[in-house]
Amino acid sequence: MKSIGLVLSGGGARGVAHIGVIQALEEAGLHFSHISGTSAGAIVGALYAHGYTPKEIFGIVQQVSIFRSVRPAWTWTGLLKMDGMQELLLRYLPEHDFSQLKLRLTVAATEIRKGEIKYFSEGELIPAILASCSIPAIFSPILFKESMYVDGGLLDNLPAKPIRDTCDFIIGSHCNLVSQTFDPTNLKVVIERSMLITINANTRISKQLCDVVVEPPGLDKYSSFDMGKAKEIFDIGYKFTKENFKESQFEKMVA
Catalytic residue list: 39, 151
- Spatial distance between the Cα atoms of 159 and 6, rounded to a whole number of angstroms: 10
Other Cβ atoms within 10 Å of 226 Cβ, number: 17
| DSSP H helix total and E strand total for the chain | 9, 10
In angstroms, what CA-CA distances link 38 with 121, 171, 180, 242? 12, 15, 25, 24
Give the separation between CA 186 and CA 188, rounded to whole angstroms. 5
Decide: 75 and 100 in contact? Cβ < 8 Å. Answer: no
